[in-house]
Amino acid sequence: MINKQELEKIKEKALAEHIPIIMDETLEVIEKYLKKSKPKTMLEIGTAVGYSAICFIDFLAEGGRIDTIERDEQRVREARENIEKVGAANMINIYEGDAVEILPTLNSKYDVCFIDAAKGKYPFFLQQALRLLNDHGIIFADNILYKGYVMSDYNKHKQRTAVRNLREYIKEASENDMLETEILDVGDGLAISRKKWTLRNVPKVHFRLFLYMVCYAWNRNLIFLHNLGYLFLKCLLARNWKFFLF
């Protein structure tokens, strides 16, 4: 159990210094999902001072951990101090550096990914989060509506790149066959993408073995195995007919 008094001090200090941290209403929504799923592993892109990661650890499964990435040296130092103060040093690991460079080096799988970093890199973060996400995992992308600019006709030069890339994130997450995505108008906007079970998630070698079993049953005239395999394949295709494995 984390030290709630220290957590509240961390929050108050961040707000006083205008350091962007997760909004209360956004945190409430994410906490509801975490309570249901009880993730074992979580990846956070954008640590800031460690506030959100500390909030999340109460909802991890026993023995769970959070890996979080931050490039600002001063914030990394402060985040480590804050994590130590609340007694969560053994549950939160900070990767110091640019997420664009660190993410491709990671190979661990995560139940949940939380994105709250450079808005112009959100499409890249989505690609990497999807690669690292376990089946049925969830991706949360904070600030996805970005002050209302994303869903408006905003086209000013100052924030044009960020807005364009956030729109691209929404498009990619919404059109990806492997994801079920919803956009919530809470805080500064929250995208929630759940990874669906699809035939694309099945290792090709397993699927080929399954096909081999069906063909073997056919050749050996093992009617029971053949019918069982046929019905199973029919059910899979009924759930997800858009697939190409070869």
CA distance 59 to 189: 22
HSE-up of residue 142 (Cα within 13 Å, Cβ side): 23
Token pair for 36: 């249901």
Tokens representing residue 73 in the block: 């040296």
User: Looking at residue 48, what is its pLDDT?
Assistant: 96
Residue 159: predicted pLDDT: 80
DSSP H or E run through 65: strand 65-70
Q: What per-residue confidence (pLDDT) applies to 214?
A: 61
What pLDDT shows up at residue 241? 44
Tokens for 32? Answer: 């509801």
pLDDT, position 242: 44
Taking 3-state DSSP, the helix, strand and coil percentages for the chain, each rounded to the nearest 5, stand at: 50, 20, 30
Which residue ranges of the chain lie beneath pLDDT 70? 154-157, 197-246
What is the pLDDT at residue 244? 40
Query: 231 Cβ partners below 8 Å, 6+ apart?
Result: none
CA distance 164 to 155: 9
Contact 142, 116 (CB under 8 A): yes
Residue 152: helix, strand or coil by DSSP?
coil
pLDDT digits (tens, 9 = 90+) for 53-104: 999 999 999 999 999 999 999 999 999 999 999 999 999 999 999 999 999 9
Distances (CA, A) of 59 to 2, 31, 52, 138, 175: 11, 7, 12, 14, 30
Over the stretch 172-189, which tens digit does the pLDDT of each residue have?
999 999 999 999 999 999
Give phi and psi for 150, each to the nearest 5. Answer: -65, -40
